Amino acid sequence: AQTVTQSQPEMSVQEAETVTLSCTYDTSENNYYLFWYKQPPSRQMILVIRQEAYKQQNATENRFSVNFQKAAKSFSLKISDSQLGDTAMYFCAFTNFGNEKLTFGTGTRLTIIP
Partner 1 sequence: DTGVSQNPRHKITKRGQNVTFRCDPISEHNRLYWYRQTLGQGPEFLTYFQNEAQLEKSRLLSDRFSAERPKGSFSTLEIQRTEQGDSAMYLCASSPETGYHEQYFGPGTRLTVT
Those residues with Cβ within 8 angstroms of residue 92's Cβ, 6 or more apart along the chain or in another chain? 4, 6, 21, 23, 25, 34, 35, 36, 75, 77, 104, 105
Per CB under 8 A, the segment of 20-28, 62-70, 79-87, 97-105 that binds partner 1 is 97-105
102 lies in the site for partner 1, by CB under 8 A: yes
11 lies in the site for partner 1, by CB under 8 A: no
82 lies in the site for partner 1, by CB under 8 A: no
Rounded-to-integer distance, Cα 21 and Cα 91, Å: 10
Residue numbers at the binding site for partner 1 (CB under 8 A): 4, 33, 35, 37, 43-47, 50, 52, 91, 93, 95, 97, 100-107
